[in-house]
A and B are shown apart, each in its own frame.
Chain A
Amino acid sequence: MAVAARVAGVLLTAFFFGLTFEGIGRKVTARIQKRYGPPWYQNFIDVLKTLTKHGWTHGWIFDFGVVMALGGVIATLTFVPLGNFVAFPGLDNFFVIVYLFTVGALGMAMGMVGTGNPWASIGVARALTLMLGYEVPYLIVITSLLYNFKTSNISTIVEIQSVNGWNIFRFPIGALVAFICLQGMLGKEPFEAPIAPAEIASGPMVELSAKYMGLLMLMNTFMEFVEISIFVDLFLGGGNYFEFLLKYLTVWIFAIMISAVLPRFRIEQAVYFYWTVPLLLAFIQVFLVVAGM
């Protein structure tokens, strides 16, 4: 019973604060561009509106892909610790989260390719290529972190940080690499090539209508929530529920502000970038950890 309540708590937090923070992000972008911007609850209206429209399916592969994407991400989300608020204590292992996370990504790829639209295929291909780019430096940094603490349990790392100070100060280079990779995971500029509305008509989402679009928007929100939460837990020391949300909002706004002023890399430029600067920094971080500094 208590577990069910905690799972519901995590999911509702992700739903309510995920969408609210996205709305605040839109407002921040608008202010940077000297506009007034939409209200903070705009994203709730958008998602609910898409659920009221009458759309089309594109065959059962498509249906199954969308459900698998949303389901996979929700399953991942339940394992993510929100500071010291954990739905399944003891099971919030980094590798469990990474493993489950691919279910959502693959579901999305399958469903979107199932629409048969060439733009969708191009978008998915770009998303997977970009993933190849950021996963390598990201995993190298995180592995060095796990090696340093001799545990892959995220809650344990959060607790250690409450004693030893935040990891962002102990591993500044690693935190920088992880943040650059986070920007790619979120699909924000300059790593926005998989979506690219003006170029490939929003890529994977090109054939999504009505409720499918709504479900994918929710999935996207949850995905962002998982990615940023892991960063906050591993580098910013988690904290209690409210501290966690505050840190989350800070990271999110920082990412938004960077994306609001940058143009877009071409996909091969993005991968080239990830495999030079962040990868090099990641190796330096590994060296420092192994050398015990």
Chain B
Amino acid sequence: MSNRGNVKIDERTVWEKIADQLRSRSMWMLHYCTGCGAVELPPSMTSRFDLERFGIGPMATPRQADIFLITGYLSVKTLRRVIYTYEKMPDPKYVIGFGSCTINGGIYYDSYATINRLDYYIPVDLYIAGCMPRPEAIFEAFTKLMEMIRKGEANGWKRYKENYEWYKQNQLRSLGEVIIHDEFHE
């Protein structure tokens, strides 16, 4: 779990505490999956495990999403889209990194086309270890995230604002430029 620069003082107002309670009970996740891990999401959402019990459901656009799942390895090309998408999501937003590929590169650690550590580019609230994590592990992660939100510890989105320069530097170092050149973005 990434807790860099986290001070353990709860400075939320009463309203923010109520808001965090609501946010933890209704999380919409973005329908944008990048690596092998996406395949574990359909069983978690459908009859066998049923994520909707916790108020977690898929949403089609970043504008309405609360959680962003990076499900596995990220190629450099996808990273640009991920950064775009992350910046389009409304605050507060939470990122979960799936599997060892997002932690240290996993089996793609020496690939020329993928990034190794997701935390350099966007702030990650929670990692799920494993290759690939089973739905049970995903549930564990979601309940942990709900708890973190309720306690006000899931503040990656604040870190991104505070350390924006640092994140931008890392993004530029790996990508050269963050702007996407294709027919959808120009």
On whether the beta carbons of B64 and A209 are closer than 8 Å, the reply is: yes
Set A37, A45, A197: member contacting B22, Cβ < 8 A: A45
Q: Which residues of B contact A33 (CB under 8 A)?
A: 46-47
On whether the beta carbons of A35 and B61 are closer than 8 Å, the reply is: no
Q: A37-B50, A48-B22, A55-B90 are in contact. Are A207 and B55 (CB under 8 A)?
A: no
Cα separation A237 to B23 with both chains bound (whole Å): 41
Measured CB to CB, the closest approach of chain A to B105, in angstroms, equals: 31
Q: Which residues of B contact A36 (CB under 8 A)?
A: 50, 53
Set A34, A38, A206: member contacting B55, Cβ < 8 A: A38
Q: Which residues of A contact B26 (CB under 8 A)?
A: 42, 45-46, 49
Interface assignment of A147: CB less than 8 Å from any CB of chain B:
no
Q: Which residues of A contact B58 (CB under 8 A)?
A: 197
Measured CB to CB, the closest approach of chain B to A189, in angstroms, equals: 16
In the complex formed, the residue of B with least CB distance to A199 is B60
Interface assignment of B12: CB less than 8 Å from any CB of chain A:
no
Q: Which residues of A contact B46 (CB under 8 A)?
A: 33, 35
Q: A35-B47, A197-B60, A207-B63 are in contact. Are A52 and B22 (CB under 8 A)?
A: yes
Cα separation A38 to B61 with both chains bound (whole Å): 21
Cα separation A205 to B58 with both chains bound (whole Å): 14
Number of interface residues of A (CB under 8 A): 30
| B87-110 to A contact mask, C-beta < 8 Å, 1/0 | 000111000000000000000000
Interface assignment of A168: CB less than 8 Å from any CB of chain B:
no
| A245-279 to B contact mask, C-beta < 8 Å, 1/0 | 00000000000000000000000000000000000
In the complex formed, the residue of A with least CB distance to B64 is A213
In the complex formed, the residue of B with least CB distance to A56 is B90
On whether the beta carbons of B63 and A53 are closer than 8 Å, the reply is: no
On whether the beta carbons of B50 and A30 are closer than 8 Å, the reply is: yes
Cα separation A34 to B26 with both chains bound (whole Å): 21
Q: Which residues 100-136 in B have Cβ within 8 Å of A in the complex?
A: none
Measured CB to CB, the closest approach of chain B to A260, in angstroms, equals: 13
Set A30, A45, A48, A49: member contacting B52, Cβ < 8 A: A30
Q: Which residues of A contact B53 (CB under 8 A)?
A: 35-38
Interface assignment of A26: CB less than 8 Å from any CB of chain B:
yes
Cα separation A207 to B64 with both chains bound (whole Å): 8
Interface assignment of B36: CB less than 8 Å from any CB of chain A:
no
On whether the beta carbons of A209 and B55 are closer than 8 Å, the reply is: no
On whether the beta carbons of A35 and B22 are closer than 8 Å, the reply is: no
The 11 listed contacts between A and B (C-beta, < 8 Å) are A30-B50, A38-B53, A42-B25, A42-B55, A49-B19, A52-B22, A53-B90, A53-B92, A54-B91, A198-B31, A209-B63
